[in-house]
Chain A
Amino acid sequence: MGLYAGRILIYAVLIVGTLLTFGPFYWMAVSSLKPQGEIFAATLQLVPSQPTLEHYRNLLARTAFLRWTFNSIVFALGTTALSLFFSTLAGFAFAKYEFRGKRMLFAIVLASVSIPQFVTIIPIYGLMVKLGLTNTYWGLILPFSVNALVIFLMRQYIAGIPSELLDAARIDGSSEFGIFYRVIVPVIRPAMGAAGIFVFLNTWNQYLWPLIMVQSNDMMVAPVGLATLSTLYVIEYGQIMAGATLSTLPILVLFVLMQEQFVAGLTSGALKG
């Protein structure tokens, strides 16, 4: 009997947990489909009386949402590509070579993981102003192209590759960069994928840095652009929810398709560290 009651309790907890988890997602999607007058209705309305796509049409027609999304994609992909390249190459050096200063350099990189981003923000902003890189993709991307956590992860993965593989490639006449390109990269591709998802999502979700770096409406990334809609004189909540839905949906689809890699990527810092 006690076991039975326990089961019921567990099911109840699971149902409540699931409702709480998906509730805000549901509310976002459903609000984006409600006619203007129903979004803040006086009584609870779980389903729109007359679903409409007008907010989606208006969002695309009256705001720069598509441009913001494009900017977000460039920002996230550019950051991911650069930081994977820099970090994997350097991680390879730290994992498989002996050189002077190695320990000290690596210690410096590791120490920087725990330094909060905002301490660098003001000098970097000053630098970007001086270089004329505000309101540009480079201004957004470059500061995030070095990621100490990724270099640490890459070194861990590469250290697990047997050194005999490298020596065999050397005997075959491969250059040192050739070893990296033809031996290391193919082997650690899954790890790079996981780290790539980690960097991509972190960048996609950035708010503070793009808010500082970009003032022109055309260069805003999606989260910043959407948030500006909620500071207008007349706030179109339907449009904001339509934009929120559109910018969340692709990530959700990717998550469903590549669950294992997502979870591995986003928790890799924890589980390797």
Chain B
Amino acid sequence: MNWPERWDQRRRAPYLFIAPFFLMFIVFWVGPIVTSIGLSLTDWNGVQLPRFVGAANYRKLLGSAEFYIAVQNTLVAALVYDVLMVVLAIGMAVLLDWRHLPFRRFFRASFFVPVTMSLAVVALVFQLIYAKEGGLLNQLIQAMGLPYRVDWLGDTGVALWSIVALRVWRATGYYAIIVLAGLQNIPKELYEVAAVDGATAWQSFRRITLPLLRPVLAFVVITSSIWALQLFDEPWILTKGGPVNSTLTMVIYLYQHSFQYGELGFGASIAYVLTMLIAVLSLLQLKLFGAESSR
């Protein structure tokens, strides 16, 4: 091969290399995101041609009481989940970072295990744990001699928290490993200097660990929130959004209207409003963490 030809190949190569990716990317990301806007302005059942209805879907959505219940449930569940999970993950990570911890590798691995189990399977297993009659939790409560029997998934005041607890169980160890990596990036000399200056363990945690962990915590909170706001698998399998809409989430609302009632145009408008909501929340979190770290 001569050199001009060689140069030509080198100039064309990158376009050929990105072509397959971008072909799929346009068909399965960019295209759908754009057509979604159009679909959200139509009445469409997936079979007949979409019929233009203007902003009717958005009016219907904003006038639906169920939509607000779904948004509220999702936001409350996400917030409680985030706070619980982050606090537990930090605690777990600090523990795992302790040099004298026995069986450190074993614990590091075992806390990570739940995240490898699929959410749907976790939900099926927790069906047995949460059952009112003969479920593990109520059996344990009874074995301790307490006179309670809780309907973990059937009580409107409890069901959502049961689902949050399931999520915390699955995800905490995973995020703890990420926080642990952040901890291990903090120079140990900082703690030694603080100790020489007479700082207590709590003071050095408060003044050194937390501030330096901020970027990692920002990542953890933002990604876990994006996931939490898409809560679907567990409530769908365990409660179908019930009892009395107490576990109805935004994605369940989207799924029911689009794929059970065949209102795909309306579904597209739900998807858009949810995406906007998630985008605004992510930006807020980013601002919050960004503002604090530049203090």
Contacts and interface: CB of A to CB of B under 8 A. Distances in A.
A43 B134 CA distance: 7
B56 interface: no
Contact of A115 (B13, B21, B33): B33
A123 B17 contact: no
B24 A208 contact: no
Give the interface size class of chain B: 35 or more
A13 B282 contact: no
A40 B219 contact: no
Contacts of B157: none
A40 B134 contact: yes
Given A22-B110, A90-B21, A208-B233, A116 B121 contact: no
Contacts of B140: 44
Given A89-B17, A207-B233, A244-B125, A119 B139 contact: no
A65 interface: no
Interface string B13-45: 111111011101101111111011001000010
Interface residues of A, number: 94
A99 B9 CA distance: 13
Interface residues of A, dominant DSSP: helix
B139 A212 contact: no
Contact of B46 (A102, A121, A129): A129
Interface residues of B, dominant DSSP: helix
Interface string A20-32: 1111110110010
Nearest to B28: A143
Given A14-B95, A146-B29, A266-B174, A105 B142 contact: no
B203 interface: no
A117 B134 contact: no
B177 A227 contact: no
B232 to A, nearest CB: 6
Interface string B213-254: 000100110010010011011000100000000000001001
A116 B226 contact: yes
B177 A263 contact: yes
A251 B126 CA distance: 19
B118 interface: yes
B113 A18 contact: no
Interface string B103-128: 00001011111111111111111111
A177 interface: yes
A201 B116 contact: yes
Contacts of B11: 99
Nearest to B88: A17
A163 interface: no
B291 interface: no
A255 B116 contact: yes
A129 B143 CA distance: 53
B264 interface: yes
Interface string A117-144: 1111111111101000000000000110
A20 B121 CA distance: 17
A261 interface: no
Given A116-B226, A123-B268, A266-B174, A223 B120 contact: yes
B226 A226 contact: no
Nearest to B92: A17
A252 B121 CA distance: 14
B121 to A, nearest CB: 5
Nearest to B25: A146
Residue picked from B18, B111, B251, most chain A C-beta under 10 Å: B18
A237 B117 CA distance: 18
Given A89-B21, A270-B219, A223 B118 contact: yes
A252 to B, nearest CB: 7
B73 interface: no
Nearest to B105: A259
Interface stretch (A56-64, A168-176, A188-196): A168-176
Given A121-B32, A176-B17, A230-B124, 18 more contacts: A18-B110, A21-B113, A24-B114, A45-B139, A89-B18, A99-B15, A105-B22, A108-B30, A115-B275, A116-B275, A118-B230, A119-B274, A122-B39, A123-B36, A124-B28, A207-B120, A207-B233, A262-B112
23 contacts: A22-B110, A25-B117, A39-B134, A40-B128, A43-B142, A44-B143, A86-B20, A89-B18, A94-B18, A116-B278, A118-B274, A118-B275, A120-B33, A122-B271, A125-B46, A148-B29, A175-B9, A176-B17, A212-B259, A247-B121, A248-B118, A263-B112, A267-B174
